[in-house]
Amino acid sequence: MQQKIKKHFKDIGVLADVKYIDPTYMVRACRANASDAILCTVLGQNAVHGAFAGFSGITSGICNTHYAFLPITEVITTPKHVNPNSRMWHRCLTSTGQPDFH
């Protein structure tokens, strides 16, 4: 995309300096807060407990506000959808500082 934009401006005779920042990098570059650290710790500990219990093909996660072992096959079978009007999505935008393009 960056090259096409540069070519377009070159073709019309306009000097343009185009910078492309991958939005996925911006999401990953966001600093973790204390809640993120606690959640990651608990999920990691639960994954270790599952492995020590002899489970395989599982991941640890939250289901209906409870920590649970979830079969990986079930987790990946259904595409995930985010409602751009939901309160949770707006909380995500606020905490990460992302713009609301909706």
**pLDDT (tens digit, 0 to 9) for every residue of the chain, 102 residues total?**
788 888 999 999 998 888 877 666 666 666 778 888 899 999 999 999 999 999 999 999 999 999 999 999 998 898 888 898 999 889 888 888 888 876
CA distance 29 to 41: 19
Q: What is the pLDDT of residue 28?
A: 62
Domain definitions of the chain by residue range: 1-30, 33-102
Q: What is the pLDDT of residue 21?
A: 73
